[in-house]
Structure 1
Amino acid sequence: MKNINRTEEETHMNNEANVNEQEQEQATVENEQDLQQETAVPEAGTESVTEEAKEAASDSELDSLRAEAAEHQQRLLRVQADYDNFRRRTQKEKEELAKYASSKLIGELLPVFDNFERALAAGLPEQEDQSSFVKGVEMIFRQFEGVLKSEGLTIMETVGQPFNPEYHQAIMTVETDEYEEGIVVEELQKGYILKDKVLRPAMVKVSG
């Protein structure tokens, strides 16, 4: 009888121990869940703060980019305005240059014009004074020729030169024993070269 009672007591004690262990395990699980929940709340809050910080940083960067774009736009407008002013000024200078391109040459020819005017005003000289008059006219001609040469005008040398269609305009061909075929034998009108360009070809006769 005592043995039976002892067995029942041991069984009852074992059951209570199991219950206590289960309760402890349940309490441990609940504590862990509570701890996870408590820990999770701050993490959620941290994520919210981080997102707000990212949005604020993004807005600030966007504002900075907008300001930079506006500054570049203003610079572009100023450069365009400067270019337009430069283009108009250059166009005006080109028009004035074309309009007054001959002013330098005309200014150099005015003294020649004055001398011709004086010669005409003096009238034709008497028979015995014609030589001095001719000399005066020759001086004016040389003065005029000097002005043209100073501007780069050159008189072509034609007679005795091989015919060149770039420099010569053949009026006719003639038979001659003095020159070989294709040689300029006579000049009917002078040809001129301005610097490196033919201003007027010479009118010539060519040996045939």
Structure 2
Amino acid sequence: MVEEKNKTESFEKEEAAELESEPVKDEAEETIETEEQVEEHNELSVAKAKIEELEAKLEETENKMLRIQADFENYRRRVRLDQEAAQKYRAQSLISDILPALDNFERALQIKTDDEKTKSVLQGMEMVYRQLLQALEKEGVEAIDAVGKEFDPTLHQAVMQVEDENYESNVVVEELQKGYKLKDRVIRPSMVKVNQ
């Protein structure tokens, strides 16, 4: 039994020696470590928040850039379409100025005469008139068909209404002034009489 008592005492001494050899942490050191951990955690939270903020700003900037890029592409397309239209209809103002001269040619060519000199002058005028029409056709000008066609307010301007049994309702009976189109754009609508 003495031996057992000695063994127990030696075991207790060894344990006490081991405990003495371990560094003892006092409460102050544990508090410092805890404060450092809290501070690290706070810094980490601040860094994460800053990263989220920067990511949001980056996404907003990318969205703005994409919108600006789309706006610029739309602008380029509009400018190209405007340039194409300007090229396509470049002669419109000149043609509009020439149309009254064409009307006067047509009126002059309707004159009937027996005088040879007047006939030769009219033939010369008719040649000039045809050349003028050919030049206009090369630019894409064409006369609008009106008589016998259904009235179309985009092509015709009704100045009179008549009652004629030979025509159906809303059909052009007579053309008072020719209308012209430049390619697909109406330069001047036909002035017409329309059946009721």
Q: TM bucket by the smaller chain?
A: 0.3 to 0.5
Q: Which structure: larger Rg?
A: 1
Ranked by relative contact order (alpha carbons within 8 Å, sequence separation 6 or more), the top structure is 2
| Larger helix proportion of the pair | 1
User: Please, what TM-score do these two structures have when normalized by structure 2?
Assistant: 0.46
